[in-house]
């Protein structure tokens, strides 16, 4: 399981180093274009795959520790598997919040434009904004259900 954490760390470090390289040497951006998008896509796939691996292995370890949970609770320590399971339970909230933020941006801009032209459309635009924010609430509900399961 530690190899997944190391893989995620290398993926994030690669993204940071690439960003710093392009920030401090912008002339390299023209030469880096042919390999820039594939490299970013590869790092993103590695990072998301490692996150999913941590989620799967972390929940499996958390359920495997369930038999000795009395000793863990008495000592006040969390196992690595339980910690990763809790992180995995938080991932739906994080991703749904990002999705809601991406959705609310254009909807909010369009709502302001629509209200400027026709103020009586305020109610309709608020409904659309509420639907976009509902995505984050769904992720929160899933995380709560997963935490109850752990």
Residue 1 has pLDDT above 70, yes or no: no
Q: Which residues contact 59 (CB under 8 A, 6 or more apart)?
A: 81, 84, 85, 88, 150
Does residue 129 contact residue 100 with C-beta atoms inside 8 Å? no
Environment class of 59 (CB within 10 Å of its CB; exposed 0-12, middle 13-18, buried 19+): buried
The pLDDT value recorded for residue 83 is: 81
What mean pLDDT, rounded, does the chain reach? 80
Q: What does the alpha-carbon distance between residue 32 and residue 25 come to, in Å, rounded to a whole number?
A: 11
The pLDDT value recorded for residue 44 is: 78
CB neighbours (10 Å) of residue 136?
20
The pLDDT value recorded for residue 116 is: 92
Residue 35 has pLDDT above 80, yes or no: no
Q: What is the pTM of this model?
A: 0.47
């Amino acid at each position: 399981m530690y190899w997944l954490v190391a893989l995620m760390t290398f993926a994030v470090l690669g993204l940071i180093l690439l960003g710093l390289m392009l920030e401090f040497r912008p002339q390299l951006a023209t030469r880096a274009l042919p390999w820039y998008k594939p490299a970013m896509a590869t790092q993103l796939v590695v990072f998301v795959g490692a996150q999913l691996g941590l989620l799967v292995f972390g929940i499996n370890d958390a359920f495997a520790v369930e038999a000795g949970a009395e000793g863990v609770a008495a000592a006040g320590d969390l196992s690595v598997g339980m910690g990763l399971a809790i992180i995995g339970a938080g991932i739906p909230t994080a991703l749904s919040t990002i999705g809601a933020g991406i959705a609310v941006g254009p909807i909010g801009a369009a709502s302001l434009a629509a209200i400027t032209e026709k103020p009586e459309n305020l109610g309709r635009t608020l409904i659309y904004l509420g639907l976009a924010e509902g995505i984050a609430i769904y992720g929160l509900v899933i995380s709560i259900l997963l935490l109850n399961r752990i």
